[in-house]
């Protein structure tokens, strides 16, 4: 008799070959720990899979570029697959289009692991010990109607049908019948939708590789119920955390008060148990005062004090950088000036707008609800403010250099 529930671990976009970026001035011991992150990630996935007694592990695209990963990562990958195989847990690796260009050699696919790739739909049938029939369908971006009919007929006799796709730029996912779950990857964002009784889920990347990707890093334990229904349980990797912390720079704020504020924010996070923790400080306030403080080296001194405290006490989140976030736009009259300042502002805003417009044009192929969410993030009113602030900051630095010479 087929099992009433099917439980599996779903992850995507592990990027085991990609190093963590932006570890500004981090001490060697911290860099060494972070460099071992791919190994720790595989061990974490394996530990949870065994503990939760899942039926299989499903990895959807961009697991690793084996040509760049290096021997340590490849060896850990083999151990990962072999360990799960001893517990009767197969590893199913559905390749992204990039990975499919460089097929994984057999040595990296030990017994119990399966590689799915190709330009045509690929099906994989698995039978559990109790006789439960599972059909996996790896779905390419483009396929013929005849392929659709073939995959539908293959899934008709199964107890569970799981479609797999590393997310394409097409708006709609084809709806297989019968179908229980769409296992997605590629967005680096956790995203869940439903179409009727079918759950469509991208677990997001299990580890963010830079502060720009900062998000809740997790993977998913999925439970399918025979006859319909799905429960998703999100599991933190607990390996790496990026955080942006605001600091307030008021007109009355002294350098000592600013440093005290910075230390207070750092102290409140020093006992974090979320793995390696990195902080990006975002200094908010009046742009004129910001520029003056930066020229005087106040922000650099505060950052160095925080880093020294980290190294002395060998704990707490590592402070990466102090970035400036101006509250106010520069006067619109400056844009109209026939001066170096006016021209610098006009050019900086023009370039910033072109970059953002180019990014926005890349969103047209995404699903409608995902596209709307990202377009909202890109249509940020602050981009002009940031562009003008960067331009005037540069101008002030040039003037300071002229004064010194």
Q: Are residues 26 and 62 in the same domain?
A: yes
Q: How far apart are CA 255 and CA 247, in angstroms?
A: 13
pLDDT in tens, 194-242: 877 888 899 988 887 766 665 667 899 999 988 778 999 998 887 888 8
pLDDT in tens, 42-93: 999 999 999 999 999 999 988 998 888 888 999 999 999 999 999 999 999 9
Q: Are residues 9 and 119 in the same domain?
A: yes
Q: How far apart are CA 37 and CA 48, in angstroms?
A: 16
Q: What is the DSSP letter of 52?
A: T
Q: How far apart are CA 162 and CA 177, in angstroms?
A: 11
Q: Are residues 257 and 205 in the same domain?
A: no
pLDDT reported for residue 332: 64
Out of 236, 268, 294, a domain closes at 236
- For residue 58, what are its two tokens? 């499903």
Contacts of 264 (CB under 8 A, 6+ apart): none
Q: Are residues 90 and 201 in the same domain?
A: yes
Number of CB atoms found within 10 A of residue 297's CB: 11
Whether the pLDDT of residue 375 is over 60: the answer is: no
pLDDT reported for residue 339: 74
Out of 220, 236, 252, a domain closes at 236
Out of 189, 215, 236, a domain closes at 236
- Domain boundaries, position 114: 5-236
Identify whether the C-beta of residue 333 lies closer than 8 Å to the C-beta of residue 372.
no
Task: Quote the mean pLDDT of the chain.
Answer: 78
Read off the pLDDT band of 254 (50, 70, 90): confident
- For residue 13, what are its two tokens? 């976009």
Give the distance, in angstroms, between the CA of residue 378 and the centroid of all CA atoms in the same chain.
17
Give which of 321, 253, 244, 245 is closest to 285, Cα–Cα.
253
Q: Are residues 218 and 263 in the same domain?
A: no
What are residue 291's phi and psi, to 5 degrees? -65, -40
pLDDT reported for residue 85: 93
Q: Are residues 311 and 262 in the same domain?
A: yes
- For residue 49, what are its two tokens? 């899979």
Q: How far apart are CA 98 and CA 62, in angstroms?
A: 8
Identify whether the C-beta of residue 387 lies closer than 8 Å to the C-beta of residue 357.
no
Q: Are residues 373 and 284 in the same domain?
A: yes
pLDDT reported for residue 78: 93
Domain count, the chain: 2
pTM: 0.77
The CATH number for 58's domain is 3.60.21.10
What are residue 219's phi and psi, to 5 degrees? -130, 175
Q: Are residues 281 and 201 in the same domain?
A: no
Task: Out of 110-114, 319-323, 389-393, pick the least confident.
Answer: 389-393
Provide the β-strand partners of residue 94.
Answer: 60, 116
Q: How far apart are CA 286 and CA 192, in angstroms?
A: 40
Q: Are residues 131 and 228 in the same domain?
A: yes
pLDDT in tens, 331-361: 566 667 787 667 766 666 665 555 455 545 5
Whether the pLDDT of residue 376 is over 60: the answer is: no
Q: Are residues 71 and 177 in the same domain?
A: yes
Q: Are residues 103 and 228 in the same domain?
A: yes
Phi-psi region of 334 (alpha: psi -120 to 50; beta: other; left: phi over 0): alpha
Whether the pLDDT of residue 170 is over 50: the answer is: no
Give which of 191, 186, 182 is closest to 166, Cα–Cα.
186
Q: Are residues 224 and 258 in the same domain?
A: no
Identify whether the C-beta of residue 273 lies closer than 8 Å to the C-beta of residue 239.
no
The DSSP H or E segment spanning 368 is helix 368-378
């Amino acid at each position: 008799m087929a099992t009433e529930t099917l439980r599996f671990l779903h992850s995507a976009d592990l990027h085991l070959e990609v190093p963590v970026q932006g570890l500004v001035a981090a001490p060697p011991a911290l860099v060494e720990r972070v460099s071992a992150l791919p190994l720790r990630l595989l061990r974490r996935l394996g530990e949870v899979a065994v503990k939760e007694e899942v039926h299989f592990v499903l990895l959807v695209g961009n697991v690793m570029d084996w040509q760049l990963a290096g021997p340590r990562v490849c060896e850990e990958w083999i151990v990962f697959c072999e360990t799960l195989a001893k517990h009767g847990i197969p590893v199913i690796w559905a390749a992204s289009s990039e990975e499919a260009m460089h097929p994984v050699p057999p040595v990296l696919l030990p017994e119990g692991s399966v590689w799915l790739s190709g330009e045509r739909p690929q099906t994989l049938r698995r039978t559990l010990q109790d006789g439960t029939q599972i059909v996996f369908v790896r779905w390419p971006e483009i396929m013929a109607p005849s392929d659709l009919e073939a995959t539908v007929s293959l899934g008709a006799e199964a107890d569970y049908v799981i479609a797999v796709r590393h997310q394409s730029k097409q708006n709609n996912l084809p709806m297989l019948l019968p179908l229980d779950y769409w296992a997605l990857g590629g967005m680096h964002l956790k995203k869940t939708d439903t179409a009727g009784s079918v759950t469509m889920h991208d677990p997001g990347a299990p580890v963010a590789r830079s502060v720009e990707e900062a998000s809740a890093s997790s993977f998913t334990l999925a439970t399918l119920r025979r006859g319909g229904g799905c429960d998703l349980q999100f599991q933190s990797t607990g390996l790496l955390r990026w955080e942006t912390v605001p600091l307030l720079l008021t007109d009355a704020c002294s350098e000592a008060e600013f440093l005290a504020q910075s230390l207070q924010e750092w102290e409140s996070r020093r006992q974090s148990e979320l793995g390696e923790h990195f902080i990006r400080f975002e200094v908010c306030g009046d742009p004129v005062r910001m520029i003056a403080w930066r020229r005087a080296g106040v922000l650099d001194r505060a950052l160095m004090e925080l880093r020294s405290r980290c190294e002395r006490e060998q704990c707490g989140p590592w402070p990466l950088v102090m970035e400036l976030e101006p509250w106010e736009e520069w006067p619109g009259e400056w844009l109209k000036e026939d001066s170096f300042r006016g021209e610098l502002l006009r050019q900086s805003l023009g370039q910033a707008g072109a970059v953002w417009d180019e990014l926005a044009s890349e969103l047209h192929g995404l699903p409608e609800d995902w596209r709307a969410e990202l377009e909202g993030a890109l249509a940020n009113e602050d981009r002009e403010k940031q562009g003008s602030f960067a331009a005037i900051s540069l101008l002030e630095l040039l003037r300071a250099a002229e004064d010194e010479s």
